[in-house]
Structures are given as C-alpha cells and as structure tokens.
Structure 1
Amino acid sequence: MLKYLLRRVAMMIPTVFAVSLVSFLVIQLPPGDYLTTVMVNLQKEGQVVQPEQLLALRQRYALDQPLIVQYWTWISNIILHGDFGQSFSYARPVSDLLAERMPLTLGLGISSFMIGWVVALAAGIYSAARKYGVLDYIITVLAFLGVAVPGFLVALVGMYIQFQFFGLSVGGMFSSGYAEANWNLGKLLDLLGHLWLPAFVLVMGGVGGTIRVLRANLLDELGKPYVVAARGRGLDERSLLLRYPVRVALNPFIATIGWAIPAIFDGEVLVSTVFGLETTGPLLLRALQSQDMYLAGSVLFIVCVLTVIGTLISDILLAVVDPRVRAGMA
C-alpha cells in the first residue's frame, strides 16, 4: 500500500506541472490580453488611450515578455513564495481575493457534497433493493430531472417561486436589513435562509447521476452467484445487502470524489452567478471575461490541482473498500 501511495504521489508532480501549463495557456487563447480589454473599454467611454500609459502597464505586468517567461515567473512565485500574483481587474493580490471568498465557497460546497452523498447513497440502495416499486419510479424520475435540467434553470425557477409565492428576498447573501449589520443570530439565520436554495440546486445537479450509477451497479451485483449462494445459506436480506453487494457497488460512487473536491472550490460558476453569491465561481467568470490572467490562471490551477488530489484520494479509498484493487497493487 505504501509503495503504491508513493508511486501515485510521484506521478502527481509532473501532472501538476502539466495542468499548470495548460491553465496558463487557456488564459492566453483569446486574442489580445488584459490591456486590450482595458483599451477597448476606455474607448467605449470616449476616453483617449495614451500609448505611453499602455507601454508602462505592459512592462509592469511583464506582458512584453515571451509566454514561457511569463509562465515561469507565475508558477515559480506560486511554488516558492505562495504568491499568485496581482489581479488586474481588482488591483489586489489574488491570494487576498481567494481568501475572502474561500469560507463561503468551502461551506456551501462541502455541505452540498455531503448532503448529496448521503441522499444518493440512501436513494440508490433503496431503489435497487425495491426495484420497480412506486418509490423507485419516483426516485428515477427525480434523478433524471436532476441530470437533465440545467442548474441555472433550477436556480431561476426556485428564485421565482421563493419571491412570488413566499415574498422572500432572493439573490445575494443577506437581506437589505442585514447586509451592513454586525454578526448576530438574526444575521446568521438570514444567511442560512439565502443559502439553502443554492445548496439544494447544487445537490440536485450532482445527485441524480450518482443515484443512477449506484442503482445500476447494485442491481448487477444482486444478480451474481455469490449473492444467490449467501441468500441460500439463510443470511437475512439487510445483512446480505450491506455486507457484500453495496461494498462492491460503491466503487464508482467513491470515484466521484475526484470530481467533487474541485467542484467544492469552483462554487458552480453559473449557479453562484445567478444567485449573486460571493464564491470563487463568479470571480473566475469575471476574470475570464476580462482576461485577468493571474486571477483566472490561479483559480484554474487550484481547481486542477484539487482534481489531481481528489483522484489520489479516490484511489486510496477504493483500495481500502475493494480488496480486488489492493490485490492489483501487488
């Protein structure tokens, strides 16, 4: 197990460098750069753009250097100094911007992931164990709706229902009366009142596919000879279900952790944008629109690194749960 873990960690190092390079190049794909966007916006406002001003900004942010120099400066500062650079759009350090939005991003993402994981596990097991029942059909319909309906559309419908029929404020993190207030129980409850709907949308978007995968794998396991033999020896149905088939069917379920961890960080860009939440999702969207290379590149880089880490965690958990995976390590 230790040898396998060391080998996987060693493979992560070149992978992280590769994804950092891809993250940096993605920001460079659109024509022009951040200064091009600034120049266009100033010209739309009727302001005169001085060439000397643009040249000074280009030299300040090293935009006059080759791409490889810009990339190496960026990645070396991150690795050696933890410096993600300066955001052009906000004129602030990228690390400060990320630190401000991290608590809400992590809180919303982790809570949505944990709730979705529990709901999908319970619903998938019940749906497979009581297949073709009334509740199984209801779970199937809801799961397909969760997969088919875009998250931003669910967010818009939910906001409309919340405002039209219940008269509750929608969007943002606080009501107008609590926006500038000091933290107290009322402000905390107001925050939770604004966050339950985004959490529900995020749960609905991720739980449907997981339920279907778990149900299909569990049904496949329930038809195998070892289950029939265990049932013939008189093992009760609940113990039989939880001891053997569920453990094997959990493999694809556990594998989704590799995707869920980066999803916690990016905050589901469209959903957070619709709700007006101050997570990293809208921050990334604005950075991409304005070609804010350090901000957008840093968010993409962190998401990619979390994907690699999530994949490693998934592999380790699979080895713990499934003895066949451990046997393949030898």
Structure 2
Amino acid sequence: MIRFLLRRLLTMAVTLLIISALVFFIIKLPPGDFLSNQIALLREQGDADAAAKAEFLIRQYGLDKPAWQQYLVWLGVMPGPNGFSGLLQGDWGWSFEFDRPVFEVVGDALWLTILVNLGAVVFIHVVAIPIAIYSATRQYSVGDYIATFFGYIGLATPSFLLALILLYYLNRWFGVSIGGLYDAQYAGEPWTWPKIRSLLSHLIVPTVVIGLAGTAAMIRRMRANLLDELGKQYYVTAKAKGLNPRKALLKYPFRMSLNPFIADIGNLLPHLISGSVLVSLVLSLPTVGPILLSALKSQDQFLAGFILMFVAVLTVVGMLVSDLLLAWLDPRIRMGGAG
C-alpha cells in the first residue's frame, strides 16, 4: 500500500508540474498583459507617475524577461528580481488589477469556495444514494417514475437559472434575500459565532443550487449500475440461500456500484467550481469563481494563474483520494492486477 501511495504522489507531482506550465503559457498566449495595456492607457492620459509605477512592477516581477524565465521565477525554481520567490516558496505574486498581493485578494474566498463545494458534494451523495437505491429496488413503481421525472428536471435546469428563480421568488414571496454567504453587517468583520451561524444559514441555497444537477446525474447513473448488479447471478443466489435482502443488497450490489462514483471524486470538485461561477455571480457569493473571471478578462496573470493552480491541486488531490479509496475497496487495484 505504501508503494502504491508513493507512486500516486510521484504521479501527482509530475501532473501538477505539467499543468503549471500549461496554465502559465496559455495565460501568456494573448498579446500584451495587464501592465502593458495599463501603461499604454496611462501614457495616453498623461499620467507619467502611474506609468512609471507600472514599469517598476514589470521589472520587479521579471515580466520583461523571456517567457520561460518568467515561468521558472513564477514557479519558484529560479530566483526572482526584488525578492519575488514564487509559488513553491509560498509567494503567490501580485495582483495588478487590485494592486494588492494575491493572497490578500483571494483571502477568505479560497476556503469559502472549498466549503461551498464540499457542501454540494455532501448534498449530492446524501440525497442521491437513497433515492437511487429506492428507484432501483422498486423499478417501474410510482416512486421510480417520480424520481426519474425530477432527475430529468434537475439535469435540464441550468444552475444559474435556478439561482435566479430562487433569488426572485424568495424575495418576492417571503421577503428573504439569499445573496451572499452571510449578512451584510458581517462583511469585513472577524469570524465570530454569529457570523458562522449566518454563514451556515446562507450556505443552504448555494449548496442545493450547485448540487442539484450533480444529484440528478448521480441518481440516474447509480440506478443503472444497481439494476445491472441486481440482475447478476451472485445476487440471485445470495437471496435464494436465504440471506437477508437488505444485507445482500448493501454487501454486494451496492458496494460494486460505488466504484464509478469513487473514481469520479477527483473530477467532481473542479467540475462544481467551474460550474458554479455563474451561480456565484448571480448570488454574489465571495468565492474564487468571480475573481478568476475578472482576472482572465483583465489578463492579471499572477492572480489567474494561482486560482487555476488552486483548482488543479483540488483535482489531483481528489484523484489521489479516489485512488486510495478504490485501492482500499478493491485489492486488485492496489496490487496492480498481480493477484
């Protein structure tokens, strides 16, 4: 198991290195950058002092160097000018759009993003698994048809549209504002128990909105997997020998049907983050999605690069977790098929 873990960690490191190169050079593909565009604009406006400051930032972060040197400096394997140490040493760079360090710009948005999307993951599994089991074990029943109908509705409804509907009608009918992740009075305040309670109460709507499509998809897939397993000979034999139906279901078909969903853990979090950008904009959620959209539009390369790497790290960590869970469930995986 240790060798299996070491192999996965080595693969994860190489994968992140390749992703970092792709992220950096793709961001650099469009002509110009934030500072170059800003300098041209400031010179047109006659603001020489601000243009000089922008030129200083270009020299400070080595943006006048060749692209490959900029990448190595950003990564942190080559010493940067004026003390810039790079990602590997904990220096996330400077946000030129916000004129602040990147870690100050993202701030609470990082862990709030993780919290919202982990809440959506928990919601998806807690809701989808019981419904899928019920639907598969009572195929073509009224409950199965109802679950199928709502599954199709969930798949067909865009998350941002559902957010808009809830935002409008909850405010119109009940006078409830669901925007943000806590009440406006707590903005910029330190974290206290009342602010945490406000966060938990505001977390319900984004969790449901972001997780609804994933819940519907998981119900459909798990129902199909369970129906396939329930028709196999081992399950029929187990019931014929008098094994309790519930025990036979949970011990064999249910466990076998979980493998595809465990394998998808690595893809689920980044998928939810990318899919929640519009929801975050509609509901004014202080997550990294709107910040990333703004950074890409303005070509703020350090800010955009860090957020993309943050999503990449979530992906590979999720893949590592899914690999470990699969290896724990299925010895053939951790043994590499040698058995």
TM-score, scaled relative to structure 1: 0.89
Contact 1:105–1:264 (Cα < 8 Å) also in 2:
no
Moved over 6 A (4+): 180-185, 264-267
Following superposition, the deviation at residue 182 of structure 1 comes to 7.7
Q: Which residue of 1 aligns with 2:126?
A: 118
Distance 1:84-1:186 versus aligned 2 partners, 3 A rule: closer
* CA-to-aligned-CA distance 1:135-162 (integer Å, 9 cap, x gap): 1122122222222222111111111111
Task: Tell me if 1:151 matches 2:149.
Answer: no
1:257-272 to 2 correspondence within 5 Å? 257-262=265-270, 268-272=276-280
What is the rounded CA distance, in whole Å, between the counterparts of 2:196 and 2:245 in structure 1? 45
Q: Which residue of 2 aligns with 1:276?
A: 284
Q: Secondary structure at the match of 2:46?
A: coil
Following superposition, the deviation at residue 310 of structure 1 comes to 1.1
The CA RMSD over aligned residues, in Å, is 2.6
Contact 1:173–1:195 (Cα < 8 Å) also in 2:
yes
Structure 1 runs not aligned, ≥5 long: none
* Residue 216 (structure 2) aligned to one of 205, 208, 227: 208
Q: Which residue of 2 aligns with 1:89?
A: 97
What is the rounded CA distance, in whole Å, between the counterparts of 1:79 and 1:55 in structure 2? 23
Following superposition, the deviation at residue 70 of structure 1 comes to 0.9
What is the rounded CA distance, in whole Å, between the counterparts of 1:32 and 1:152 in structure 2? 32
The residue type paired with residue 19 of structure 1 is I
Higher mean C-alpha deviation, range 33-42 or range 301-310? 33-42
Higher mean C-alpha deviation, range 164-173 or range 30-39? 30-39
Distance 1:98-1:141 versus aligned 2 partners, 3 A rule: same
Higher mean C-alpha deviation, range 22-31 or range 307-316? 22-31
The residue type paired with residue 322 of structure 1 is D
* CA-to-aligned-CA distance 1:289-324 (integer Å, 9 cap, x gap): 111111110110121122112111111111212344
Q: Secondary structure at the match of 2:113?
A: helix
TM-score, scaled relative to structure 2: 0.87
Following superposition, the deviation at residue 41 of structure 1 comes to 6.5
Q: Secondary structure at the match of 1:29?
A: coil
Following superposition, the deviation at residue 179 of structure 1 comes to 4.8
Task: Tell me if 1:247 matches 2:249.
Answer: no
Contact 1:261–1:307 (Cα < 8 Å) also in 2:
yes
Following superposition, the deviation at residue 14 of structure 1 comes to 1.5
Q: Secondary structure at the match of 1:235?
A: coil
Contact 2:151–2:216 (Cα < 8 Å) also in 1:
yes
Contact 2:123–2:208 (Cα < 8 Å) also in 1:
no
Contact 1:110–1:264 (Cα < 8 Å) also in 2:
no
Q: Which residue of 2 aligns with 1:23?
A: 23
Task: Tell me if 1:315 matches 2:323.
Answer: yes
Distance 1:139-1:324 versus aligned 2 partners, 3 A rule: farther
Distance 1:13-1:40 versus aligned 2 partners, 3 A rule: same
Alignment length (residue pairs): 328
What is the rounded CA distance, in whole Å, between the counterparts of 2:66 and 2:318 in structure 1? 33
What is the rounded CA distance, in whole Å, between the counterparts of 1:217 and 1:40 in structure 2? 59
The residue type paired with residue 176 of structure 2 is L
Q: Which residue of 2 aligns with 1:293?
A: 301
* Residue 47 (structure 1) aligned to one of 38, 45, 48: 45
What is the rounded CA distance, in whole Å, between the counterparts of 1:161 and 1:39 in structure 2? 46
The answer to which structure, 1 or 2, has the higher relative contact order (CA under 8 A, 6+ apart) is 1
Q: Which residue of 2 aligns with 1:3?
A: 3
Contact 1:112–1:202 (Cα < 8 Å) also in 2:
yes
Contact 1:254–1:314 (Cα < 8 Å) also in 2:
yes
Q: Percent identity, aligned pairs only?
A: 45
What is the rounded CA distance, in whole Å, between the counterparts of 1:182 and 1:307 in structure 2? 30
Q: Which residue of 2 aligns with 1:237?
A: 245
Distance 1:96-1:134 versus aligned 2 partners, 3 A rule: same
What is the rounded CA distance, in whole Å, between the counterparts of 2:128 and 2:159 in structure 1? 17
* CA-to-aligned-CA distance 1:237-256 (integer Å, 9 cap, x gap): 11111010011100111112
Q: Secondary structure at the match of 2:140?
A: coil
Following superposition, the deviation at residue 266 of structure 1 comes to 6.3
Structure 2 runs not aligned, ≥5 long: 77-84
What is the rounded CA distance, in whole Å, between the counterparts of 2:197 and 2:186 in structure 1? 10
The residue type paired with residue 135 of structure 2 is S
